[in-house]
């Protein structure tokens, strides 16, 4: 991400300020929804509490996520405005390694923003972006938001879906359809975090490079070895570990 305002690298909040830059630039370009800036604020608060680093439970979730994506028959990465602005190249890298499709799926859906996100992803090197405009002709049952509209060749027939900054409704609806959901969400208490099969409680900006590295590493392992990672994975336990860290970080001692 560019540092247009020359924020000094020594600034204690440098990485966080650079993320803000990426999002506000994305907003000005029509990629990020205004509400996406507010969502980032909520994320920042959790990130601050987590110490702005990838914690051990998140690393375990990343390993399980890499395993699940590599074992999937039809994995799809679902992209919203914030993810497109912050991690477009990483989305494409991960899609290449894991054989995932990329689908645009917006909560605040407008065709104009969908197309801008598609163009951005294509400029970063992806051959096809699913779910744009009329391509999102299938419907996720029992979901009322605009996120219900999905591509019949993409999310609709996926067995594994990776989601970022999500609303709990769609995660629940996708799971009801028999899909496995991997969520990246800084808030371990959110419905998405609680409902997903694998929850990576981390900033998407840190989690994605780690997920790419792990997926690349696991790719050369045999299927049985990858399966054993998933066999021992317990998402409820991971979330509990995360909450324990939060409580420990914030015991106020005089
Ligand atoms: O682009 P659209 O139209 O699909 O809209 C996207 C937003 C983000 C506006 C929409 O999905 C939304 O309103 O999300 P929520 O319900 O506010 O949820 C955002 C969740 O993501 C919250 O739990 C935040 O803590 C978390 N979050 C925010 N920034 C990050 C994050 N998690 C990981 N990395 C972040 N950078």
| Mean pLDDT by groups of 10 residues along the chain of 254 residues | 69 84 96 97 93 95 98 98 98 98 97 98 96 97 93 98 92 97 96 97 98 96 92 96 87 60
Structural domain including 105 reads 56-239
Distance from residue 32's CA to the centre of ligand 1 (Å): 11
Domain membership flag for residue 24: no
Residue at 34 is within a domain = no
pLDDT at position 222, please? Answer: 87
Is 223 part of a structural domain of the chain? yes
Cα torsion through 25, 27, 29, 32, rounded to 10:
120
Residue nearest to atom 5 of ligand 1 (CA): 107
| Atom 4 of ligand 1, nearest CA residue | 106
* pLDDT for 247: 86
* Ligand 1 geometric centre to CA of 123 (Å): 24
Tell me, yes or no, whether 103 lies in a domain. Answer: yes
Residue 78, strand partner residues: 103
Output the domain CATH number for residue 93: 3.40.50.12640
CA 93 to each of CA 85, 184, 200, 252: distance values in angstroms, whole numbers, following the listed order? 15, 17, 18, 42
Q: Is 35 inside any structural domain?
A: no
Cα–Cα distance for residue pair 161/175, rounded to 1 Å? 10
Q: Is residue 41 part of a domain?
A: no
pLDDT of residue 252: 64
Q: How far is the CA of 78 from the centre of ligand 1 (A)?
A: 13
The DSSP output letter for 133 is G
Q: What six digits make up the tokens of 246?
A: 């939060």
25: in domain: no
> What residues line ligand 1, using a CB cutoff of 6 Å?
33, 35-36, 39-40, 42-43, 46, 80-82, 106-108, 165-167, 184-187, 190, 203-204
pLDDT at 253: 60
State the burial class of residue 127 (Cβ atoms within 10 Å of its Cβ: 0-12, 13-18, 19+). exposed
């Amino acid at each position: 991400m560019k540092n247009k305002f020359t924020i000094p690298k020594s600034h204690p909040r440098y990485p966080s300020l650079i993320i803000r830059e990426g999002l506000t630039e994305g907003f000005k370009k029509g990629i990020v929804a205004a509400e996406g800036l507010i969502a980032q604020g909520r994320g920042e608060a959790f990130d601050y509490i987590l110490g702005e680093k990838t914690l051990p439970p998140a690393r375990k979730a990343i390993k399980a996520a890499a395993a699940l994506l590599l074992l999937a028959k039809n994995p799809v990465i679902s992209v919203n405005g914030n993810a497109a602005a912050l991690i477009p190249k990483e989305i494409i890298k991960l899609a290449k390694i894991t054989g995932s499709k990329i689908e645009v799926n917006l909560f605040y859906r407008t065709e104009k923003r969908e197309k801008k996100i598609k163009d951005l992803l294509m400029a970063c090197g992806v051959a096809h972006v699913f779910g744009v405009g009329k391509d999102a002709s299938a419907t996720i049952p029992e979901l009322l938001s605009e996120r219900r509209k999905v591509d019949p060749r993409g999310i609709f027939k996926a067995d594994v879906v990776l989601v970022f900054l999500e609303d709990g409704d769609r995660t629940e609806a996708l799971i009801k359809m028999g899909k496995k959901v991997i969520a990246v969400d800084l808030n371990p208490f959110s419905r998405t975090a609680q409902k997903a099969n694998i929850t990576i409680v981390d900033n998407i900006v840190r989690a994605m490079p780690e997920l790419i590295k792990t997926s690349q590493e696991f790719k050369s392992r045999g299927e049985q070895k990858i399966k054993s990672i998933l066999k021992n994975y317990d998402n409820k336990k991971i979330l509990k570990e995360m909450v324990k860290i939060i409580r420990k970080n914030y015991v106020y001692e005089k």
